[in-house]
Amino acid sequence: MPVLRRALFDRPAADKTNLMGRSGFDLAWSYDDSQFDGKLPTINIEAANRPSLFSALQTELGLTLKSSRAQVETIIIVSVQKASEN
């Protein structure tokens, strides 16, 4: 989930799967300009024929992404100063 949160979504993502531990998997999907901060990797012909991210998660992993509202932890930086030499 951390990779999905950092690279693909334009908002925080909450893991509500109740799966414990780490898991590894390969997921192939056809990405669009809403992912990777608009900095798309090179799209080859093979990738263009893949399902969307939402479809791939559902069909290959049995997971569903749902949009919802929730409180998220936020850090607000009020001031930044260069460290002094000791």
C-alpha angle 34-17-1 in degrees, rounded to nearest 5: 40
- pLDDT over 70 for what percent of the chain? 69
Give residue-wise pLDDT tens across range 5-34.
666 666 777 778 887 877 777 777 777 666
Closest CA relative to residue 46, chosen from 27, 26, 29: 29
Give residue-wise pLDDT tens across range 37-57.
666 666 666 666 788 778 888
Q: Confidence band (pLDDT; 50, 70, 90) for 71? A: confident
What pLDDT does residue 44 have? 64
Q: Tokens at residue 8, please? A: 């693909």
Is the distance from CB of 33 to CB of 53 less than 8 angstroms? Answer: no
Parse the chain into domains and list their residue ranges.
1-86
Is the distance from CB of 41 to CB of 70 less than 8 angstroms? Answer: no
